Structure 1
Amino acid sequence: MKTIAIIPARGGSKRLLHKNALLLDGIPLVAHSILYAQQNHLIIDEIYVSTDDNEIKKIALQYGAKVIDRPPSISGSFEPTITALQHTLQHVDSLISTIVLLQPTNPLRPKNLLKEAFNCFENNDCDSLFTVTRNHNKLGKIIENKYYPFNYSFGQRSQDLEPLYFENGLLYITKAAFILEHKIITENAFPLEVNHIFASVDIDTQDDFEYATYLIKKESRL
């Protein structure tokens, strides 16, 4: 039984055109996740890129990943990620026990994150794991032009807020059987807290891309 990484990277993107092929620090965006998976070869047995795009396919093959050709019927902008994962599993010959989902739009990850995450996944009674980050903002809702605090009271200090967390998208680990049941995050998923600056990077716009570029340059100077 194998653990495989799946990187879903379709060609269409509306807010940042063809983003998965754009060069981030001289490397195509999708290739950052391929390289990260390769660096964790003791955990990941095979790397698959699911794409409907010929340029992304060429990039994936160039960087040593295997490619699953995704049909147009599951490549639309509103298509959930789970269908790409299911389609990949249906076209892989090997017996797969575990899926590591690496989204190309989250190209920056702490070096030892997957090792830490996989240890947590194996040592806890869970069927999946996903990464989260603590939110330190004062959040509220606006209803009929009136503001209602959600996680605080007016005048409350930020450091006294009840902890809230957001799903940061850095990585997901799920038993393959649950992917086939349409689940990436299962009922007893382990939320791994990652409070790292990379957790704030999710590339969907030009500003996101420029922020990621800035962080890469900053890290290289440290």
Structure 2
Amino acid sequence: MAVVAVVPARGGSKGIPGKNLRKVGGVPLVARAVLAALSAERIDRVIVTTDDDEIDRVASAAGAEVIDRPADLAGDTASSESAVLHAIHELGEVPEVVILVQPTSPFIDPGDLDAAVAEVAGGVRDAVFSAVETHEFLWTLGPDGARGVNHDPAVRLPRQQRQPQYRETGAFYVMRGSGFVTHRHRFFGRIGIVPVDERGAIEIDTVEELELACAIAPMWEHHPLPPVDVDAVVTDFDGVHTDDSVLISADGVERVSVTRTDGMGVDLLRRAGVPMLILSTERNPVVSARARKLDVDVVQGAQDKAVALWEWITAKGLDPDRVAYLGNDVNDLGCLESVGWPIAVADSHPDVLAAARLVLTTRGGEGAVRELADLVLLAAERRAAATPPATPPAGIRHATSDHLLEAL
């Protein structure tokens, strides 16, 4: 057993209830950690240790193996080290390299994981962790006032003349397996650092940090766009199939403009057997007329889009986690929250951009539907070419589906 990543994800959290299931960019935090580890070329297995049934389900869907975490190792005072040691015990073998991956860090670069593994596996270091370089002046505040911690306040050297220091991000810790089992701690022997991009070096412990991560997500990860592995596609109409503008004639008739590029994308999905729904609150008959032209399901004039979406998903017998919803404005937020792939067009409202798992490069009415269709079809091609996963070892539950492996 060469390189094993362990993601400790307990169900209890005092600061943010259900924190490991909260979504950033439309993806639960525990799934983001799993997907980052699975995307690293040097990691052989990804294990989630949890005491929570829903985390178990989400982690399995993301592609992880799951180990049940005992209650005495899932309390507020339990350490991450204890969870990793328990996971190693359950594996029955000490990995050459073991990685502690924290789900509270939503923007882990798989390349950084590979760089850290290379140092440990190559014998250069015994333990390596993620950190950001900093030249900040640190202070401590006591009864007698503030004091400089890492500098002499009377001699303020310019940045160029000061050695950089490093702030631990908490995202990941890569360790020689035997050394970790012996020391029972993540820092031992020759310790190294892998500098990571400070723009994504956020650790979520508060609601405010969660909100910040959601705001950062669209800017952080929508290039390049990943395949969208889903079984069905649902879209809003105005602002998605159209550019959200309307022409009104003297007699009050409203007209909109669409693109044949989107029409071709819908046709390709339909030919591939992917169910599609156009869902809109708009009452203008142009919505249903366009749906008839495209030969797809339509619900318009919906008072509650999320309810209408759920009814359609249920009637089709679909798994909501394997449905994509493409929207652009605040009345789409309920639908975006209800599916596994919430997606936004490029010119969406800021709240929609923050809720989206994926932000397209194309604006509404300018080929966004076609762009999504191409991503869905690409995922289908890769899924068809994929080989079945190996049978998991006894006692460890393997993922039941791999539909999220291409995320992030």
TM-score higher than 0.5: yes
Q: Work out whether 1:68 is the aligned partner of 2:70.
A: no
Q: Is contact 1:103–1:169 with CA below 8 Å preserved after alignment?
A: yes
Residue of structure 2 in register with 1:85 after alignment: 84
Mark the structure with the bigger radius of gyration: 2
Residue of structure 2 in register with 1:188 after alignment: 190
Residue of structure 1 in register with 2:351 after alignment: none
Worse-superposed segment, 106-115 or 6-15: 106-115
Find runs of 4+ consecutive structure 1 residues off by over 3 angstroms. Answer: none
Give the 3-state SS of the residue equivalent to 2:96 in structure 1.
strand
How far has the Cα of 1:135 moved from its partner?
2.6
Q: Supply the distance in 1 between the matched residues of 2:221 and 2:88 (Cα, whole angstroms).
A: 37
Alignment of 1:191-206 (within 5 A): 191-199=193-201, 201-206=202-207
Q: Is contact 1:151–1:161 with CA below 8 Å preserved after alignment?
A: no
Q: Is contact 2:2–2:44 with CA below 8 Å preserved after alignment?
A: yes
Deviation by residue 1:87-142 (Cα, 9 ceiling, x = unmatched):
00010145521111110001202342122222233345322211222233221122
Normalising by structure 2, report the TM-score: 0.51
Q: Work out whether 1:210 is the aligned partner of 2:248.
A: no
Q: Is contact 2:94–2:178 with CA below 8 Å preserved after alignment?
A: no
Task: Return closer, same or farther for 1:211/1:173 CA change in 2, 3 Å cut-off.
Answer: same
Unaligned runs of 5+ in 2: 224-408
Residue of structure 1 in register with 2:357 after alignment: none
Residue of structure 1 in register with 2:228 after alignment: none
Residue of structure 1 in register with 2:139 after alignment: 140
Q: Is contact 1:136–1:158 with CA below 8 Å preserved after alignment?
A: no
How far has the Cα of 1:145 moved from its partner?
3.6
How far has the Cα of 1:220 moved from its partner?
4.4
Deviation by residue 1:65-104 (Cα, 9 ceiling, x = unmatched):
1111111111111211110001000101455211111100
Worse-superposed segment, 44-53 or 142-151: 142-151
Q: Supply the distance in 1 between the matched residues of 2:165 and 2:94 (Cα, whole angstroms).
A: 38
How far has the Cα of 1:164 moved from its partner?
2.2
Report the residue type matching 1:10 in the other structure: R
Q: Is contact 1:85–1:179 with CA below 8 Å preserved after alignment?
A: no
Task: Return closer, same or farther for 1:220/1:177 CA change in 2, 3 Å cut-off.
Answer: closer
Residue of structure 2 in register with 1:17 after alignment: 17
Give the 3-state SS of the residue equivalent to 1:191 in structure 2.
strand
Unaligned runs of 5+ in 1: none
Report the residue type matching 1:198 in the other structure: G
Q: Is contact 1:20–1:28 with CA below 8 Å preserved after alignment?
A: yes
- Structure possessing the higher relative contact order (Cα contacts under 8 Å, 6 or more residues apart): 1
Q: Is contact 1:2–1:94 with CA below 8 Å preserved after alignment?
A: no
Residue of structure 1 in register with 2:112 after alignment: 113
How far has the Cα of 1:157 moved from its partner?
5.1
Task: Return closer, same or farther for 1:152/1:221 CA change in 2, 3 Å cut-off.
Answer: same
Structure ranking higher in strand proportion: 1
Report the residue type matching 1:183 in the other structure: H
Alignment of 1:107-186 (within 5 A): 107-154=106-153, 156=156, 159=159, 160-181=161-182, 182-186=184-188
Give the 3-state SS of the residue equivalent to 2:193 in structure 1.
strand
Question: Matched residues, percent identical?
Answer: 28
Alignment of 1:94-113 (within 5 A): 96-113=95-112
